[in-house]
Structure 1
């Protein structure tokens, strides 16, 4: 699916957080949002998937007007993996992932063999088959995030939004999660803090500053020392990472 966001603006209280932002994600493209804390990345994503309703703009998934469509219908096409997924009650990992099938079911409809097969495949993709009988609350932060990703994969979305899903995880889990999403070969819009990860995985970037698009383009076009200094108020030099053969960054304050 293609995502087209046109001039979205979102106000919280009396403050304009997102200011007339337009974003385009082509079919099977992995697009990143970068920028400092508080710049509006998460608010923009929440506005796109209707966790927060923008006061202006249009959000289209192909020809579906997201802001005028029911949440159940949206969830049949759009999956979201966010940063925090705490619960006050416990389910097994298998039960958690099975919840991903909910948008495709009628009220009180029982699970079919097809649903169980889809859940099994989601657990396999995220290396969680050995965890399926474990309680969700007993898992580490990285393991929990893999469960949330598996649940989202079980939705069989045609587009996915990653709302800073790896921000509090160590590097191993960051790579596991982003690599797994990349392998799905669907459209993705992701807010990312790690610039090397953004450079390695993203086809296109939007740099956000104070609620507006400051720069956009390929990682090579956006991740320049000048743009990084303007966004983060730090100086840096770029180089070719000998391991990934992508952009690397050396920072000085």
Structure 2
């Protein structure tokens, strides 16, 4: 399933945050958005998954016009894992993950054997089977994020958007979440802060600066010292990381 966004423009108040951005995620491709804080990455993603209404632009998942299609139908194909997932009420981990089946149900339809099997599989994929009866609110930040990922997997989406899902997590949980998503073999569009993670997991990158696409291409094409300095105002040298065999980065002011 391909995602195509064309001519996306988003204003908040009088400020133009996203300026005529177009991007493409091919079938089963893992595409990353990189750029400094405030460059428009999350705003762009929110306009793609309909949390914000863009002033201009189109978004298609294959032939589905996302911006003109009901939330329920979009959620049957598109799953979103965000950065913040705080709740004012408590559910068990199993109940949280079962919420991922909602887009596939009629109003007040009860959970079926198939739903429970899908939830069990999602819990297994995220190493959460032993947490099924735990309180969601009792979990650590990394554990909560894995639950949200499991809930999204239970939706059985054909495409997934990650809106800076690992931004406040330690390295272990970053690796667990991104490795799990990569293993789903579906299209992914992810906003990422860690450049080594972006280089390792992404097939293609879009670098965003001041609400516009500054550069795009493979990680090797985009993550150059010149581009990184322009984006982040820091000096950088790249090297081959002996652990990942991918790009590594050494920074200086």
The TM-score range, normalised by the shorter chain, is over 0.9
CA distance in 1 between partners of 2:164 and 2:138 (Å): 22
Deviation per residue, 1:187-231 (Å, 9 max, x gap): 000000000000000000000000000000000000000000000
Q: What residue in structure 2 maps to residue 131 of structure 1? A: 131
Q: What residue in structure 2 maps to residue 93 of structure 1? A: 93
CA distance in 2 between partners of 1:177 and 1:23 (Å): 24
Matches within 5 A, 1:184-203: 184-203=184-203
Matches within 5 A, 1:35-50: 35-50=35-50
Q: Give the secondary structure class of the aligned counterpart of 1:121.
A: helix
Q: What residue in structure 2 maps to residue 180 of structure 1? A: 180
CA distance in 2 between partners of 1:69 and 1:36 (Å): 32
Unmatched runs of 5 consecutive residues or more in structure 1: none
Q: What residue in structure 2 maps to residue 224 of structure 1? A: 224
Deviation per residue, 1:36-73 (Å, 9 max, x gap): 00000000000000000001000000000000000011
Q: Give the secondary structure class of the aligned counterpart of 1:188.
A: strand
Deviation per residue, 1:149-194 (Å, 9 max, x gap): 0000000000000000000000000000000000000000000000
Shift of 1:147: 0.1
Q: How many residues align?
A: 253
Q: What residue in structure 2 maps to residue 142 of structure 1? A: 142
Matches within 5 A, 1:143-162: 143-162=143-162
Any runs of at least 4 consecutive aligned residues in structure 1 with deviations exceeding 4 A, and if so which? none
Q: What residue in structure 1 maps to residue 67 of structure 2? A: 67
CA distance in 1 between partners of 2:16 and 2:69 (Å): 25
CA distance in 1 between partners of 2:89 and 2:60 (Å): 35
Q: Give the secondary structure class of the aligned counterpart of 2:188.
A: strand
Q: Give the secondary structure class of the aligned counterpart of 2:24.
A: strand
Q: What residue in structure 2 maps to residue 166 of structure 1? A: 166
Shift of 1:233: 0.2
TM-score by length of 1: 1.00
Structure 2 residue 210 is matched with structure 1 residue 207:
no
CA distance in 2 between partners of 1:23 and 1:93 (Å): 35
CA distance in 2 between partners of 1:72 and 1:145 (Å): 23
CA distance in 1 between partners of 2:159 and 2:25 (Å): 10
Q: What residue in structure 1 maps to residue 25 of structure 2? A: 25
Shift of 1:252: 0.1
CA distance in 1 between partners of 2:252 and 2:170 (Å): 22
Q: Give the secondary structure class of the aligned counterpart of 2:38.
A: coil
Q: Give the secondary structure class of the aligned counterpart of 1:227.
A: helix
